[in-house]
Structure 1
Amino acid sequence: MTRMLRTAFTAAALSATAAAKAEAQSGKGLFVGIQYAGASVNVQEAAEDLEFGNGFGVHAGVGLSERWSVLANFDRSLLTGNSADVRLTQYDALLRLHLIGAASPLKLFVTGGATARSANAGRDFESIAPTGGGGVQLFLSSGLAVHGTALWTFGNLTRANQLSGNTIDQQFTSTGTRVQAGASLYLFGR
């Protein structure tokens, strides 16, 4: 968890440093981007949690107005478990609302939606669960923005019975935590 906080702090510091060069942008239009993704999963009722791991991600979306955006996101991280490393893959469908900064280069936002996720390390888990979070976005030019985001995914991870040899599926309550630091290219900048 300490690494996640350091990563988030570093992303925020880099964003603040670049603020002097930033330009106001409406946030409307198509955008694509990449991001660093760090993740961990707290699994209740299971023998082990999945400790913080690093990864990457890509995203694409459309800014519907100065306040609303729709976003599709993909992340993959390698997490550390007690017995083996675990590859965690997450697909998000998110709605983003800019709370502050509609007319400025620095925009604060909240986001929410659904996440499909799977974890594999000789044992497969999968689920679709609600996701929420928030972050900050800084436009460096009319077509380029950097962002820092924190997301939490709640719900059950399900171990499929055909994979674990049991006759019924097993469900484990889990909370996934992610931090992202990345950049977005607005294809039709102001």
Structure 2
Amino acid sequence: MSLTSVGDSSDEDDEIFELPEIQPAFVSSHKNIDEFKHEILQGDNGMLKVCSGEILTVRIPTSDDGRFIYWEFATDDYDLAFGVNFEWNKCPDIEVTLDVNDTDTEEEDDFWADDEHLTDVNDIEAPKKDKQKEEPPTSVIVPVYRKNSHEEVIIGSHRYPGRGTYLLKFDNSYSFFRTKIVYYRCFYGQ
């Protein structure tokens, strides 16, 4: 599938891209949480620490060796919000990466970014505003909502809608005091 243009193609600034319809993901759970955590601790799979007020995003590019992505995760002691997005990109990075978003820091950065009146535009030593990097279009695969991942292993899969990057979001932004430990693994399949 590819992105299709809507509107007059003669004026590139006015082009609007319509994203293809996304098929729903398969999401389920199973109760073998202790066995799952033990497998994660014994293997080369992942453990994450999601501090209170943070959102961790695991960025997983599509692979030519697969047609599906699969994920599983569980937490210790407390629930966690989770969601999956798909970032449309014909040439995704080839490495899995991790982004940390501290919700308090984002709001603070937005506040300071608005203080143009404090900077003299003629001052050559003044910090320059970076041009906003245009983000690739993104589709929601699984909306972010809280899961009882401390009671059961949350599992899911999704067929690639095209080339791009899956964004697995582990959201602890609602928690003021509790850090969550996440046991997870992701893999490709046919």
TM range, smaller chain: under 0.3
> Structure 1-normalised TM-score?
0.26
TM-score, normalization: structure 2?
0.26
Task: Choose between structure 1 and 2: higher strand proportion.
Answer: 1
